[in-house]
Amino acid sequence: MVRLGAVNYLNVRPLVHGLAGRPDVELRFDVPSECARLLAANASDLGMVPSITYLDRPSDRIVPGICIGSDGPVASVALFTRTPVREISRIAIDTSSRTSAALVRIVCRRVFDVDPVFVPHGPDIRAMLAVADAALLIGDPALFFDPPPGVTKIDLGSVWADMTGLPFVWAFWAGRPDAASPATVRLLQSAAMEGAANLDVIAATYTEANPDRVALATRYLHENLIFTFGPRMLEGLTTYYREAALLGLAPTAAPAFVATGSTLE
């Protein structure tokens, strides 16, 4: 039995396709920060963890070949602002993911040239914009929110790609070095391949209660996300780690993968 802690958003569903209900898998869904907490508490063996939390546990190993990434617009990680970016003085930060919180700090310094106050907040966009000039949302709340007049959505995947010319890795499977046997790695890679071949079905099933969201969900899975962890993804990840370290947001570390005969598959 392998205990998996997965992100409770649409973006992870292709990576866990067919795993629910298997007798050899225990699968639970949470926000990214809770996935990281459960992994640290040894309540899961492998977690779909936000990229930056790996730096808290550099002895962990990443399952090769699989990630939640983007190369350009991601649609589900965004800054919603009612103020021009160079006039932002206060940003409400969705507490669900440290990776996105660090990224918005990086782009504020490197791209927007502002030094705002950051206010932790639950993912309630209207309440966030009531206390700040802008709000960081991630996951489904960012993907399915339609900004009202006067509020601009700034896609942080796009901002990162414009800044670096590289893709961004938002999350990946990681855990203790002994947590992912070769059979488990093959299982997770196979699930990801099956998910990639069934994106339309996954989108339709996920949005069954909200059929008006099917088209957006389908386009998101096909056009915005990348689930293969290849060399350019690794370059994007190490660049993000370097940028975070330069701002004192994280320690310096290099990604290390489960040994399966090759670093990336």
d(CA 240, CA 247): 11
Give Cα 65 distance to the centre of its chain.
Answer: 16
Length of the chain: 265
β-bridge mates for residue 92, sequence order: 119, 135
Residues 174, 64 contacting (CB under 8 angstroms) = no
Considering only CA atoms, which of 241, 196, 243 is closest in space to residue 221? 196
Using alpha carbons, select from 221, 210, 212, 232 the residue that is nearest to residue 166. 232
Q: Which residues contact 41 (CB under 8 A, 6 or more apart)?
A: none
pTM higher than 0.85: yes
Alpha-carbon Rg for the chain, nearest whole angstrom, is 18
CB contact at 8 A, 16 and 46 = no
Top CATH class, 2-69+169-246: alpha beta
Q: How far is CA 188 from the centre of its chain?
A: 17
The SS3 assignment for 171 reads strand
Q: 239: Cβ–Cβ under 8 A, 6 or more apart, which residues?
A: 164, 166
Q: Which residues of the chain have pLDDT under 70?
A: 253, 259-265
**Cα angle vertex 169, ends 66, 119, to 5°?**
135
d(C-alpha 190, C-alpha 164), whole Å = 31
Separation CA 101–CA 240 (nearest Å): 12
Q: What is the pLDDT of residue 261?
A: 38
Q: How many C-beta atoms surround the C-beta of residue 172 within 10 A? A: 26
Domain map (residue ranges) of the chain: 2-69+169-246, 77-164
Give the contacts of 74 (CB within 8 A, at least 6 positions apart): 155, 156, 157, 158, 168, 170, 224, 225
Closest CA to 250 of 259, 263, 237: 237
CATH superfamily label, 77-164: Periplasmic binding protein-like II (3.40.190.10)
**Domains 2-69+169-246 and 77-164 in one fold:** yes
